[in-house]
Structure 1
């Protein structure tokens, strides 16, 4: 479905998703290519690239959402200043609203990959039309990208974050009562919960910038690139009996083909609305780390990849 040649989205990363009550899925992408892909699989050099987009799936039809300005296509979630932008995190839908976490960045130097994280906001979209209603700052922890994964239970919404400036990267956790996602939050301290963000403590080391947490059969699973070393090429899973751990693992569940020194895999995400029994759909992203022209020369590099993982088999073979 995402092997597209034109008329909207032709490539992007992030690849998170939110399921709506009417059966649609809203795919959330970061840097997004629009326009057309040539018959030889290349992108024209003038192909528009915007900082974020939505792709709305209705059955097998995909509809790209972004803003159209006098200067051309623009990000669905607009940055407040020319050198700032938002990359989407996870989100959820409740009632007639959809909420999406956005992590804000700014350009810190002219070099490739030179950016700085500056904070997290919570976007509100109306349903069913998906019109942007507002962006609200969140009370966050310095250096932690909150909202990379969101897990809703009966009592709480658990908001997972990443300390992205650490190596290995560290997972953190906050929670909000159901219906009060804007706050106030409580932060996991390692022993309990505190209303003071300064008491936030890591729950796990070695995660990717974005990872995914879901619950099934009374257990919590955290799916991530195996971030214990640089440029990982394997996807790992941890499990726990509670949202904050302690976590058992990692267990390696997939080795990504075709990655190496130049092409990297990153930020796996579990799309639970497409579950088939114990089989879960997992996406991951690919990009070229040293040659910006590579994603123009080969459009397939910068598109989501998908795998099915049977967690009943994972449980039986890797956690027994």
Structure 2
């Protein structure tokens, strides 16, 4: 996580403020409405959870934001931020039309009855996704290599499906990934060693999956991969922690008791400290994606005005 944070290029605070101030001049397009319309048509909804997805009376901006499972960037703008479609009994394949939800950052299709392969071009469909939950379905086939191009992905949950093949080594390019779960699938081959640096990783109940660090005869994922990302980066920050502890100890006399109630907990409780940094990491990614989307929308608006 810390390595990923160092490698990431973030906009300066002034750039972020400038783009946010300009955000009001850009408005949502019809593409998100078409996205939801196509998605609904591509799925079976036996329990009528999506019955309120009515596209006949959309007279004002933000109309789709009241749809079940739809979360928008703003309640007054037809721009979908997240789709929460879990536990709805939906049937069919991976839904169509999601590429038209160009601002989508979160997709939750867990606990449904979806089947078939995960699209090979999923990175083109979900360009800015940070959270993807396809767990507890019936997806089959291999984990697509294209998933490694979803470069903003933080959380990936594929557990309880019927996925086969190996975990693509190209997923080492997902430098923002903090959590992955592929429990209860039919995966085989080695677990990529770079996943050992994640805060949360689960690979249980895959009969053919092996750990290179614990299984001597497990094949090496490095063999034949000329463009491999390299061996896992050491995650030893003990020196940094010790230095920070000494700093806080030397400055302790100057701090009030109330300060230590909050920051002392983060300093001495590793679980809380980890959760704090993961939260801040996730927030920074969402801000970055938000700024990029607003900037692209601004450029598109300027081009339309010139035309």
The two structures share one fold, judged by TM-score above 0.5: no
Q: TM-score, normalised by structure 2?
A: 0.24
Higher helix share: 2
Structure 1 or 2: more strand by fraction: 1
Task: Give TM-score scaled by structure 1 length.
Answer: 0.23
Instruction: Tell me which structure has the larger Cα radius of gyration.
Output: 2
